[in-house]
Structure 1
């Protein structure tokens, strides 16, 4: 299997590591909300022709390693993901909209993005095991 994707006139491998957070980094992405965010990312990425390589939804942020076709920009993907997911969550969980702090925005304005190149396996491992590392750090902080 080739590392490259193929379209009609192009071979490509545009892979990105993207991280974004809910507004005020609220710890809201747990239980059903977190599972819905996970499913929505999978579905919307597939609809846009993107391939999810790694995905990890933490309680206060999302890590995504994704292959994006050259015809689609990272900002378009993020606009679509964050917009559609927010609309879905606000309609499915009306209590989220009641919190005046949201201001009808579920996500923070920005996001982090980095290209994945030679260090792909390191980044994928980090995304996969990020929750374990965070739990260990929290345990060490409580012991001190």
Structure 2
């Protein structure tokens, strides 16, 4: 399923895994739907298609199609940074558990999918 930009045809799929700080099992709690909606909105805004996603108790798996004009690292910086701010904005009580702007742990795992 190739996509296209003005003069480019592309198919760039990436399997990405990232975790909350200290692998806290917070994703399956009352914040699950909110986190899912935030991630979907942020991906849509950047033109990134979520092909498949799984919110596990202490980590997130997503298979995404990222346009070649975006690097994986810049997309992940955007996704984790903005989502943390939005999560703390919607759920102010989490700032006390996680510290301001430190919802996600550093780093992520990525692999290319054919």
Tell me the TM-score normalised to structure 1 length.
Answer: 0.75
Root mean square deviation, CA, Å: 1.0
Q: Distance in 2 between matches of 1:54 and 1:9?
A: 27
Larger of the two Rg values belongs to structure: 1
1:107 maps onto 2:104 in alignment: yes
The residue number in structure 2 matching 1:57 is: 55
Question: Could you say which structure has the higher strand fraction?
Answer: 2
Q: Which runs of 4+ in 1 moved over 6 A?
A: none
Equivalent pairs counted in the alignment come to 113
Q: Distance in 2 between matches of 1:50 and 1:94?
A: 28
Tell me the TM-score normalised to structure 2 length.
Answer: 0.94
SS for the counterpart of 2:6 is coil
Unaligned runs of 5+ in 1: 118-144
1:67 maps onto 2:69 in alignment: no
Q: Distance in 2 between matches of 1:45 and 1:13?
A: 16
